[in-house]
Structures are given as C-alpha cells and as structure tokens.
Amino acid sequence: MAGTVQRTINVKLRVWRQPNRDTPGHFEEYEARDINTDASFLEMLDIVNERLIKENKDPIAFDHDCREGICGSCSMVINGNPHGPELGTATCQLHMRKFKDGDTITIEPFRARAFPIIKDLSVDRTALDKIIAAGGYISVNTGNAPDANSIPVPKADADEAFDAATCIGCGACVAACVNSSAMLFMAAKIAHLEKLPQGRVEHEQRVLKMVKAMEEAGFGNCSNTGACALSCPKEIKFETIARLNRSFLKASVKRRS
Amino acid sequence: MKYSLSSIGQKQIMAVTGLVWAGFVLSHMIGNLLIIAGPDVYNGYSHALVSNPLVYLAEAGLVLTLLFHVVKGIRLTIANRRARDTKYALTPNGAKSPRFQSRWMIFHGSIILVFIILHLLSFKYGPGIREGYITTVNGVEMRDIYRLVVEAFRQPGYMLWYVIAMVFVGLHLSHGFYSSFASLGFYHPRYSPILNKFGYLYAVVVALGFIVPPIYVYFVL
Ligand code: HEM
Ligand code: HEM
Ligand code: SF4
Ligand code: FES
C-alpha cells in the first residue's frame, strides 16, 4: 500500500518438537528471518515451515483452521501464555508487530494430562468433546425447525447467553490453569444453555453430568487462580465459574432431597 | 458421584472450613492483643474462655473443620498435580498473570499446620497450674498463661518463628478469603471486586495483629 512503511523483523524461535505422544520432546531453535510485522503468528510459522520443507526437514506441526479467531483450533503457548501475550486474542489473530526485532520466542504445546500431544504443538482435545457429550446439549424433538421467535427470550438473558456462547472451545483455559482444569470452558457452555428457556429445563442434570465428565477426563480442580479467564481469547469472565459452583451446590442439594 | 468427593464439592468443603478458621483467627488475634493490657486482663480473658463450657464445642468444631480442610486440601493438590503431568518452560505472565498466592496454598497451609501443632503443644498443652504457672486475678486462682507467653516470646528464635508463621497465615488468607466466596458460588459484579480487596485487608489485619504480641513482648516489654 502506498505510504505505509514496510517493517520486517528477525526473531529466534524455541519450539517444542515431539514426534508423538510416547516419545519425549525437546526444544529446538529456529531463525525466522525477514518477517513482515503485519504477518500473523501462524503466517510466521508457515514461513519457517516452508523453509524447513525446502531443506527436507520435518515441518513444525500445529493446529489451525479458520485463522479468524472463531474455530478454536489454533493452540499453542507463546512465551508462557496460551495464545500469546495479548488479552482477548487467539494465536491466529496475534500479529508479529507485538514482537521486537531480535526477540526469542518460546513456543510450547498446551500441556495437560487430558490433552495428549499428537505431534509438536498439536494436541488431542477430544476430552473437551467428552464434557459436551455428557450434557452440553438440549433435548428437542426432531422435525421441522421451530419458529425462531416462538419462545421470547428477555434481552438481558439473551445477551448473557450470547456472551457465554462466544467460547470457541480452544482449551486455552485448560492450558493456562496450573491444575489443567476445564472449569471455564464447562462453565461457559453451561451458562450459555442455562440462560435460555430451551436449556433451562435440563440445567441441573446437565451440571451434575458435565462436572462428572470433566473429572473422568482427567482435568484438575479449580483453585480460583483466574489464569483461565485472562488467557481466554473470547474473554469469558471468571465469574462464570462462580456461577457454575452455585449451580452445582444447588443441584447437589436438590438431588439429595 | 458423591458430593464430598466431587471436584467442586471438595472445594466448597475447603471454603466453608477455611472460612470457619478465618473467623477464628480474627477473634484469636484480637484476644491476643489484650497482652498489651497487662497480665490481669490477659489471664482473665483466657480464664473466662477456657472455663466456658461452650469452649469444648468450639474446640471440637475447630479440630473437625481443620481435619476436613487439610484432608481435602491434600487430596485436591494431589489430583491437581496429576492433571498437569508435564511442565511448561514458561508459565502465564504479563497481562495474563494469575493470582500470585493461589499456587502456594499447599505450601503455606503445611507451614500453618506445623505451626498449629507446635503452638498447641507449647501453649494450650504447655506448663500450667501444676507446674507453678499460677496467678490470682480478683480473688480467682487461674493459670498464668501470660507468664508462659511472655517467657516464650522473650526468646529470639520463638519470636521470629511466630512472626514468620504469621506472614504465611496472611498469605494463605490473601488468596483464601476471596477464593472461598468464589468456590461457594458468590458472584456480584459490584461486590465481588470489593470482596477481593476486603480479602487482602483481612489478611493484612490478621497477620499484622498476630505479629504485635511477639514483637511487643520482645522489643517493648
Ligand atoms: C489458619 C488456618 C487456615 C485458614 C484460615 C485457611 C483458610 C483457607 C481458605 C479460606 C481457603 C480457600 C478455600 C477455597 O478456595 O475455596 C483455603 C484454601 C486452601 N488451604 Fe487453607 N486455611 C488454613 C489452614 C490450612 C492448612 C493447615 C492446610 C494444609 C495443610 C491448608 C491448605 C489449603 C489448600 C491446599 C488450599 C487451596 C485449595 C485449592 O484451591 O485447591 N490450609 N484455606
Ligand atoms: C501471636 C500469635 C499467637 C499467640 C500469642 C497465641 C496464643 C495462644 C494461647 C496463649 C493459647 C492458649 C489458650 C489457652 O489454652 O488458654 C492459644 C490457643 C490456641 N491458638 Fe493461638 N496464639 C497465636 C496465634 C495463633 C494462630 C495464628 C493460630 C491458628 C492458625 C492459633 C491457633 C490456636 C488454637 C487452635 C488454640 C487452641 C484454642 C482452644 O483450644 O480453645 N493461634 N493461642
Ligand atoms: S473458555 Fe475461553 S479459553 Fe476456554 S475453551 Fe472457551 S474460548 Fe477457549
Ligand atoms: S485458527 Fe481458528 S481460532 Fe485461530
């Protein structure tokens, strides 16, 4: 574009390389040269990978799909932070202008017992699907789609449900948590359905089933560290977890009586 | 899934038992400040406490809640360590830094546990009337607990250990107070941030209040 200053930087990468789940991994260093600062972080990795392919070396495996911050595929820990240093930003939306010339960038996979490593930076996040399968749905009769506005939803509830529904299921909350807990993810899914009349009916059952599924999948417990919410690219609020705790207490008391 | 073994249930048990102890330490801290008022007031207060039959109920409650708190704390910590089986080279930092004390809870907690055991042995189950620690206040014979405490805090090692232990009590509370409300499901857009600040204040007040008696005895008395 006319008038814009083209800026490029050189950075050094320390990337976690691990051929598969059962082989121990290690860090390897790479130079990323002449990277346009308007490039996204994933584009920078693409450039490094193209060079590796040309040199007949194994490219760095990492997950990505939409590259516009909505699919939740991209998953890596950049200098200790899932999705990198910027609040409310997925890795694919992070740009190289956030880094300085000469920086060393450490890139690791999401680490959690529940997320086994497939290769390098790519991890298996099926465990999140198991939590959803346990109760993250509503039961409706099949047939024609119901009329969109047949059940009125108050605006405030719709807004809250929508805020929770923005969770893209990336698992950064698990990656950030010292305990690898999936509480923020689960709380977002539950809050999303709880606030809508269609989801309200099964709310308590859902809470009990999903919490059980989270434990069985090998995630840890919540220590209220707040790391999850800060790492969340969709800025799901920490309070969502408090709301889940309240729902769980209520559901447990009701089940008793 | 039993509530008392579920992840959230165990955290809620920790929260309730932690809050019981948070209440106790505040009242115990205020009671111990009476040491400044002199032997008669301090001994009189202690005597009034131990001769109240309700004290047995309170003691049973404290022992029971501490037991639950410790057992659940250890269980959760083990499960949590297991859930993160490989270590990061770097952990969240900068704008994404988590609450600092939250990951040290088992560490402070263990020090506090050691403190409580030693503390009970040296004071509650320490030398009493039979060993000559006896005094008379307003015509009533009672244990001279004041003398025992003062003798203890005159020793620099003892004084220092108390000061250090109290710092850990404060650090534990600085995360624990706020955390317990979140565990129990309390959330309010306006009051939660205030509660967070109040938690820090609570921790500082309790820790500093407890530090007063050893410092006062050692440096002033
Ligand atoms: C004066 C005594 C104590 C007080 C006032 C206290 C208070 C608290 C409070 C309020 C919490 C927050 C609970 C929550 O997050 O829901 C907590 C958490 C915790 N306490 Fe204590 N506690 C005390 C002693 C201990 C002891 C003796 C231990 C263990 C050896 C311990 C271990 C822990 C652990 C590990 C946690 C964190 C649990 C987690 O977040 O996963 N505490 N404590
Ligand atoms: C400056 C700090 C402290 C001083 C001077 C102090 C002093 C005392 C004394 C003199 C007693 C014996 C009371 C009696 O049997 O008549 C006592 C009991 C006790 N203290 Fe402390 N204490 C301090 C800090 C703490 C802290 C931080 C904790 C808890 C974490 C604690 C927990 C207890 C408990 C559980 C008892 C037994 C209460 C009972 O059985 O009724 N103390 N303390
Ligand atoms: S809550 Fe946020 S961090 Fe966790 S899975 Fe959803 S979008 Fe990702
Ligand atoms: S690639 Fe889809 S969110 Fe980043």
To the nearest whole angstrom, how far is the Cα of B77 from the nearest Cα of chain A?
A: 9
pLDDT digits (tens, 9 = 90+) for B25-69: 999 999 999 999 999 999 999 999 999 999 999 999 999 999 999
Cα(A42) to centroid(ligand 4), Å: 10
Q: Which residues contact A174 (CB under 8 A, 6 or more apart)?
A: A110, A112, A114, A115, A128, A180, A181, A182, A185, A219, A228
Residues B211-221: pLDDT tens digits?
A: 999 999 999 98
- Give the range among A109-123, A132-146, B1-15, B69-83 with minimum mean pLDDT: A132-146
The number of beta carbons lying within 10 Å of the beta carbon of residue A56 is: 6
The alpha carbon of A176 and the centre of ligand 3 are apart by a number of angstroms equal to 10
Pocket lining for ligand 3, CB < 6 angstroms: A 167-173, 184-185, 188, 231-234, 236
Among candidate residues A42, A60, A48, the one with its CA nearest the CA of residue A10? A48
Q: Which helix (H) or strand (E) holds B137?
A: strand B134-137
**Structure confidence by residue, pLDDT tens digits, A223-232:** 999 999 999 9
Q: Distance between CA atoms of B136 and B141, rounded to whole angstroms?
A: 4
The CATH architecture annotation of domain A126-256 reads: Orthogonal Bundle (1.10)
If DSSP states are collapsed to H, E and C, what string results for chain A? CCCCCCCEEEEEEEEEECCCCCCCCEEEEEEEEEEECCCEHHHHHHHHHHHHHHCCCCCCCCCCCCCCCCCCCCCCEECCEECCCCCCCCHHHCEHHHCCCCCEEEEECCCCCCCCEEECCEECCHHHHHHHHHHCCCCCCCCCCCCCCCCCCCHHHHHHHHHHHCCCCCCHHHHHCCCCCCHHHHHHHHHHHHCCHHHHCCHHHHHHHHHHHHHHCCCCCCCCCCHHHHHCCCCCCCHHHHHHHHHHHHHHHHHHC
Residue-wise pLDDT for B170-181, tens only, equals 999 999 999 999
Q: Quick check: B80 and A221 CB within 8 A?
A: yes
Return mean pLDDT, chain A. Answer: 95
pLDDT band at B164 (very low <50, low <70, confident <90, very high): very high
- The per-residue pLDDT for A3 is 54
Pocket lining: A109 vs ligand 4, CB cutoff 6 Å: no
For chain A, domain boundaries: 8-118, 126-256
User: For A192-233, how does the pLDDT look when each residue is reduced to its tens digit (9 = 90+)?
Assistant: 999 999 999 999 999 999 999 999 999 999 999 999 999 999
Cβ(B207)–Cβ(B169) below 8 Å: yes
Chain CA centroid to CA B75, Å: 20
Q: Is the ipTM of this complex over 0.85?
A: yes
Q: Which residue type does B122 have? A: S
Residues 178-207 of B with CB under 8 A from A: 178-179, 181-187, 189, 192
Nearest to B129 by CA among B68, B43, B53: B43
Task: Give, using CA atoms, the residue closest to atom 24 of ligand 1.
Answer: B109
A/B interface, count of CB pairs below 8 Å: 161
Cβ of B84 within 8 Å of Cβ of A208? The answer is no
Q: Which fold has domain A8-118?
A: Ubiquitin-like (UB roll) (3.10.20)
Mean pLDDT, residues B122-145: 95
pLDDT at A5 over 80: no
Whole-number Å distance, alpha carbon B54 to ligand 3 midpoint, is: 50
Closest chain B residue by Cα to residue A231: B96
Put simply, whether B99 touches A (Cβ < 8 Å) is yes
pLDDT number for residue A149: 81
pLDDT at A68 (0 to 100): 95
Report pLDDT for A4. 62
Q: What average pLDDT does the segment A151-169 reach?
A: 94
CB contact under 8 A, B10 and A221: yes
